[in-house]
């Protein structure tokens, strides 16, 4: 009978579904709800040492609806990291581990380009009971003036240096969260892994403008009539996320065997999750999906993933992790493969008779011609 239980970087998870960093992990109350519903782990909303500089606005979300107006296909947010004081977070981390000792709690952290700050936040989160870290190098819109988030994740030299600072202090597993707002996702991934991070998470949201209201002529979400480009998520980004997960998985196979990969981007069903595992992911993060369907969505996702595994007789996630990777190739190789197939088919059609038993009444003339040309 298949099982979803898995161990990743020493973290024992009852299933691979993880609450992605964001509103679904914004305080102890909602983190507790996630554990009660059966999520494999929770990544808390990104925190920093000084929350006083974080000021969120409202509205801060916008939706892209399907043609019939009933389905949310895309979701934009201009939300910043947590605006709650760091001390409160440390108190809640401790309470969380007391209340849910078996729950895997992952701290998402973000700081400025200051070694002391990164080391301090790692040490204090560890003392408060965090089981692992996710380094937010990927928020596409928040605090770029402080060189945080994607502004840091787009600079491989800076990213590698910061990961080195973190690894010098971390006693727990560390994942670096990648921004998709870059030409080659392998470059920052390689930087993080070469600095010693146990794993990579991908992808964070894609920088976007959701749309412009044709009545008011103002872009949305509109805050006092103005907006700023935000982060795009939900099912519409899944094809992009799958491509980048595949690229990172190939990098890990070739250069960093044994490192982990947490897949993110439009996962809403067990079948979505299966595709990410087939593309090389160890775990599956869901954030916007929880905002759309609630914490209880984890159960049907688990059920559907188990059904997929049973259908293909996979007992564990490891049985099919990366199983589709060998089937990705170059366009030139596709052309060569197709040419080889067509040549083989053509040769088969022109096969000459080598024995009397091979003559056919329907193709007698063609077989005769083939022998004449041979």
Q: Is 297 a catalytic residue?
A: no
Residue found under tokens 């952290």: 109
Q: Take residue 286 and report the two structure tokens written for it.
A: 């869901």
Q: Where are the alpha helices (DSSP H) in the chain?
A: 28-37, 86-99, 115-127, 150-153, 156-169, 186-194, 238-255, 270-278, 288-293, 298-311, 331-349, 364-373
* Selected catalytic residue, list 96, 125, 139, 208: 139
Q: What is the DSSP string of 131-199?
A: -EEEEE---SSS-GGGT-THHHHT-HHHHHHHHHHHHHH--S-EEEEPPSSSS-THHHHHHHHHTT-SE
Q: Is 189 left (phi over 0), alpha (psi -120 to 50) or beta?
A: alpha
- Separation CA 25–CA 9 (nearest Å): 21
Chain centroid offset of residue 24 CA: 16
Residue 18's DSSP bridge partners are: 41, 285
Return the H-helix or E-strand segment holding 283.
strand 283-286
- Residue 359: half-sphere exposure toward Cβ, Cα within 13 Å: 8
Dig out the tokens for 45 from the structure.
């909303």
Residue carrying structure tokens 């049985």: 319
The whole-angstrom distance between residue 102's C-alpha and the CA centroid of its chain comes to 24
Phi, psi of 74 (to 5 degrees): -135, 155
How many whole angstroms separate alpha carbon 178 and alpha carbon 361?
Answer: 65
Which amino acids are annotated catalytic?
Answer: 139
């Amino acid at each position: 009978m298949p099982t979803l239980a898995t161990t990743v970087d020493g973290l024992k998870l009852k299933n691979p579904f993880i609450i992605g960093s964001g509103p679904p992990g914004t305080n102890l109350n909602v983190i507790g709800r996630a554990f009660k519903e059966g999520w494999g782990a929770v990544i808390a909303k990104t925190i920093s040492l000084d929350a006083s500089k974080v000021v969120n606005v409202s509205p801060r979300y916008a939706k892209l609806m399907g043609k019939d107006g009933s389905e949310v296909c895309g979701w934009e947010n201009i939300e910043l990291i947590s605006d709650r004081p760091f001390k409160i977070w440390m108190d809640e981390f401790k309470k969380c581990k007391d209340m849910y000792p078996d729950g895997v709690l992952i701290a998402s952290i973000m700081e400025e380009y200051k070694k002391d700050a990164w080391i301090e936040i790692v040490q204090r989160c560890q003392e408060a009971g965090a089981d692992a870290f996710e380094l937010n190098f990927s928020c596409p819109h928040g605090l770029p003036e402080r060189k945080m988030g994607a502004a840091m994740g787009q600079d491989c030299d800076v990213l590698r240096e910061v990961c080195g600072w973190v690894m010098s202090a971390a006693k727990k597993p560390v994942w670096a969260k990648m921004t998709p707002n870059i030409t080659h996702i392998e470059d920052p991934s390689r930087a993080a892994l070469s600095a010693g991070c146990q794993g990579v998470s991908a992808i964070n949201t894609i920088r976007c403008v959701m749309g412009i209201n044709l009545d008011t002529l103002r872009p949305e979400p509109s805050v006092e009539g103005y907006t700023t480009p935000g982060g795009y998520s939900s099912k519409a980004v899944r094809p992009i996320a799958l491509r980048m997960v595949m690229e990172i998985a190939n990098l890990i196979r070739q250069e960093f065997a044994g490192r982990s990969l947490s897949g993110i981007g439009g996962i809403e069903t067990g079948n979505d999750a299966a595709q990410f595992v087939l593309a090389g992911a160890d775990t599956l993060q869901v954030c916007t999906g929880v905002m759309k369907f609630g914490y209880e969505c984890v159960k049907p996702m688990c059920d559907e993933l188990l059904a997929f595994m049973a259908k293909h007789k996979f007992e564990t996630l490891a049985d099919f992790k990366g199983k589709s990777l060998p089937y990705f190739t170059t366009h030139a190789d596709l052309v060569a493969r197709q040419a080889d197939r067509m040549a083989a088919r053509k040769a088969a059609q022109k096969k000459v008779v080598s024995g009397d038993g091979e003559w056919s009444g329907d193709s007698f003339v063609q077989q005769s011609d083939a022998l004449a040309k041979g």
